[in-house]
C-alpha cells in the first residue's frame, strides 16, 4: 500500500501592536510579570521610587512606582529579557540587567538603593538566579533555544513536553496520538502524572486551542514560530481548568532587529535503511521545509512575525498476513496438528471437557456446543453462505489464480 500525504501548510502571521501605555486588562496566561521591593542600604523600605522595566528586544518601557511599603509590580509583560532600573532623588540609580520573564510566571527582583547622586548608576551583576516565589504552580518551561536546538524528529513541539517531570506520551493508540484512522494529524498526546491525554488544556497566546472532537490541538505551530511554552503540571490556578495538564504556547512577535531563516529537513532512502519487507516498494521520503521572518514595522512600536511550513510524506506500508490454503478453505485443518502428541480424532463427535489437553493443541470445535469436529474437518453444512463465498479462490484478471 502506498501512502501519500500533503497536509495543508500552516501559515501563522501575527501582528502585535505595542503602545506606549498599555490599558489595564484582565490577566492573560501568555504574559508574565516582575515584582519586588526597594530598600536602602540599611534595609529600610523606600516608597515613591520610580521603577522602569524595559524589554531589551523591543525597547518597550513599563514604568511603575513603589507604594508605601516599597513594593512595585509590573504586570502583563510579554515574555522576553528585561532590564529593571530604580531611581529616586538622593540615591544612585540602580540597574539590574538580564531579567528573564517567562510565560505565566512572575519574577521577583528586589533592589537596594545607595545614597548618592542620581547621575551615578549602580549596575547589579552576578546576582543569584531568580526563583519563582510568587505562585504555587509547578511546571516546565521550554525556551526558544531549547525548542530550536534539541533534536526533534518530525518537528512536533509536543515531544519536548515529555522532558518535564511526570510527563510521557500516555496510552498508545488514542485519538490524539496521531496516525490512527480517526486522526491522521501529528501526535498531540501528553499525559502528566497519569492523567488522561484528552483532559489537557492547550492555549495559544492565551487563546483556547482545543479541538473538542478528538481532544487534541487545533493549531500545531512549527518550532520556529514558538517563543516558548510552559507545561503546567501541578497546582495550577483555576483559570486553566479541564483537570489535566495545561500546555501554554506563546508565538514569536518580532523585535527591533530583523531576524529570519529558511530550512528543509529531509529523510529518504539515502539516509534510512529500507524495511526488509518493503523491498522494491516506495521508499520512505519526508521533506519538511519552510521559512520564518520577523522585525519592526515602526521601530519600538509595532512589530510583525510570519512563518510557513510545508510537509511532504511518501511511503509504503507493508502488511503481512496469513492466507489459508486450499484445504483449509474446504474445512480441512489437519495439517496444523502434524506431529502433535494427541490424535485430533480422539474426541471425534464428543463434547470436549474444560481443561482437556486437546484444546492446547488447537482442536477445532463448535463454540456453541463445544463439540469437536471430526479429525479437524469442519462440516461444510455448518458454514454460512457468506463464509463459503469468502473462502473461494481469488482470481485476478490476466494474472491467473491467486492463493
Each residue of 380-394: pLDDT tens digit? 777 778 877 877 765
- What is the predicted pLDDT for the residue at 56? 94
Is the pLDDT at 317 greater than 60, yes or no?
A: yes
Question: pLDDT by residue (tens digit) across 28-51?
Answer: 678 899 999 999 999 999 999 999
Strands (E) in 181-322, as ranges, are 191-192, 201-204, 207-208, 210-211, 216-217, 226-234, 246-251, 259-267, 285-298, 302-316
195: pLDDT strictly greater than 80: yes
Q: How confident is the model at residue 194 (pLDDT cuts 50, 70, 90)?
A: confident
Q: Which residues make Cβ contacts (< 8 Å) with residue 64, sequence separation at least 6?
A: 50, 51, 53, 72, 73, 74
- The residue with greater pLDDT, 133 or 255, is 255
Cβ–Cβ < 8 Å for 244, 199:
yes
pTM for the model = 0.68
Q: Report the pLDDT averaged over residues 204-213.
A: 87
235-271: per-residue pLDDT in tens?
777 777 777 788 999 999 889 999 999 999 999 888 8
**Rounded Cα distance, 187 and 176, in Å:** 6
136-140, 204-208, 234-238, 334-338: least confidently modelled range: 334-338
pLDDT at 5 over 50: no
Q: Which residues, 6+ apart, have CB-to-CB distance to 270 below 8 Å?
A: none
DSSP H stretches of helix in 287-382:
326-329, 357-360
pLDDT at 319: 73
Domains belonging to the chain, first-starting first, are 2-9+137-316 (2.170.130.10), 31-124 (2.60.40.1120), 326-402 (no CATH)
What per-residue confidence (pLDDT) applies to 67? 95
Provide the mean pLDDT of the chain. Answer: 79
Amino acid at each position: 500500500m502506498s501512502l501519500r500525504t500533503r497536509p495543508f501548510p500552516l501559515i501563522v502571521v501575527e501582528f502585535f501592536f505595542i503602545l506606549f501605555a498599555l490599558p489595564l486588562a484582565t490577566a492573560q496566561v501568555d504574559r508574565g510579570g516582575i515584582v519586588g521591593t526597594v530598600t536602602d542600604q540599611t534595609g529600610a523600605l523606600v516608597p515613591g521610587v520610580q521603577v522602569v522595566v524595559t524589554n531589551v528586544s523591543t525597547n518597550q518601557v513599563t514604568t511603575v512606582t513603589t507604594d508605601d511599603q516599597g513594593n512595585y509590580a509590573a504586570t502583563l509583560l510579554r515574555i522576553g529579557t528585561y532590564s529593571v532600573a530604580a531611581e529616586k532623588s538622593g540615591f544612585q540609580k540602580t540597574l539590574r540587567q538580564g531579567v528573564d520573564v517567562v510565560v505565566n510566571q512572575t519574577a521577583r527582583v528586589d533592589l537596594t538603593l545607595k545614597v548618592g547622586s542620581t547621575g551615578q548608576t549602580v549596575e547589579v551583576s552576578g546576582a543569584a538566579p531568580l526563583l519563582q516565589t510568587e505562585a504555587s504552580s509547578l511546571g516546565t518551561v521550554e525556551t526558544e533555544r531549547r525548542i530550536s536546538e534539541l533534536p526533534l524528529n518530525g518537528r512536533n513541539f509536543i515531544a519536548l513536553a515529555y522532558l518535564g517531570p511526570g510527563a510521557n506520551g500516555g496510552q498508545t493508540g488514542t485519538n490524539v496520538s496521531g496516525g490512527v484512522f480517526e486522526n491522521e494529524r501529528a501526535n498531540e498526546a501528553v499525559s502528566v502524572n497519569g492523567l488522561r491525554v484528552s483532559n489537557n488544556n492547550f492555549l495559544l497566546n492565551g487563546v483556547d486551542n482545543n479541538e473538542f472532537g478528538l481532544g487534541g490541538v487545533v493549531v500545531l505551530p512549527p518550532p520556529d514560530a514558538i517563543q516558548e511554552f510552559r507545561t503546567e503540571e501541578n497546582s495550577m490556578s483555576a483559570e486553566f481548568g479541564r483537570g489535566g495538564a495545561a500546555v501554554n504556547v506563546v508565538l514569536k512577535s518580532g523585535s527591533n532587529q530583523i531576524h529570519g531563516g529558511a530550512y528543509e529537513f529531509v529523510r529518504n532512502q539515502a539516509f534510512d535503511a529500507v524495511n526488509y519487507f518493503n523491498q522494491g516498494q516506495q521508499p520512505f521520503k519526508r521533506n519538511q521545509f519552510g521559512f520564518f521572518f520577523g522585525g519592526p514595522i515602526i521601530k519600538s512600536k509595532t512589530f510583525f512575525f510570519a512563518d510557513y511550513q510545508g510537509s511532504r510524506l511518501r511511503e509504503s506500508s507493508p502488511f503481512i498476513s496469513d492466507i489459508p490454503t486450499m484445504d483449509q478453505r474446504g474445512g480441512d485443518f489437519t495439517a496444523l496438528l502434524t506431529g502433535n502428541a494427541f490424535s485430533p480424532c480422539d474426541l471425534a463427535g464428543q463434547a470436549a471437557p474444560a481443561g482437556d489437553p486437546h484444546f492446547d493443541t488447537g482442536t477445532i470445535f463448535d463454540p456453541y456446543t463445544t463439540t469437536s469436529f471430526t479429525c479437524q474437518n469442519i462440516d461444510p453444512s455448518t458454514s454460512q453462505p457468506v463464509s463459503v463465498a469468502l473462502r473461494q479462490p481469488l482470481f485476478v484478471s490476466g494474472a491467473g489464480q491467486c492463493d
